[in-house]
Structure formats: C-alpha cells, structure tokens
Amino acid sequence: MERIFIANKDIDKYLSACFFALSNGNDEVQITGRGNNTKRSIDVAAILLREHLDIPDELPPLSDVMKALDNKNIDEAKELLKKLMTCEIRIGSENYKNEDRFVSTIDIKLRGKRKQ
C-alpha cells in the first residue's frame, strides 16, 4: 500500500500520485493530511472514489460474515469485512514540532481498482 502525503500542491498532482500507486498493482492507497491540508485530503479521496475507482460489483453478503463469527473463524470474518470496506478513515492529532501545540490529522485508506 502506498501512502500519499497531502500538502499545498494542486489537487491534480495528488490524484496523479494516487493513479501511479494504483497502477503498480496495488488495490489500496492511503491519503494522509495534517493541519490545514485535511480538507484537501478529503477532496482528493472524494474525487478518487467518485470518478476513478472501480468498487467491486460482488461484495460478500453480511450473512457470510455472521456465519464466520458464529463458527469462531475470526480470520475469515476479518477478510470478508475487509472486502466490504472500500474506505477507512482515521482522525487524530499529533504533537507539532515537540511543542505544546497539536495539529489535526486524517488518514483515508481507499480500496479498489483504477477504472480503465
């Protein structure tokens, strides 16, 4: 999985970086933004999801996940859930330059294949 850090460049530059990451056989890309760039990170992820990623047509039914959990097969349940999730978002904060100041962070992990 490739990780793309979002800063102050034009959104097209980050979309190109995501395309490159997805064209190398990866089906996951992580977009990371800090501080004022969290909004730009969301914009990049939204454009990718809306216009450039193929989300699998056949997703496993939720009943399969429940059966795996009932049978205590946690690994199978995790794999099935992973297939169901096309987007994972983590929001947090980091200490900024070892000061008493914190900066917001966002990590957006997208799964899918690039549209042809």
Domain positions in the chain are: 2-114
Mean pLDDT score of the chain, rounded to an integer?
A: 83
Can you give the pLDDT at residue 75? 83
The Cα 26–Cα 21 span in angstroms is 7
pLDDT tens track for 57-100: 566 677 777 788 888 888 887 777 776 667 888 999 988 887 78
pTM over 0.75: no
Helix ranges, the chain (H): 11-23, 38-47, 62-70, 74-84
The Cα 38–Cα 6 span in angstroms is 8
CATH number of 2-114: 3.30.110.20
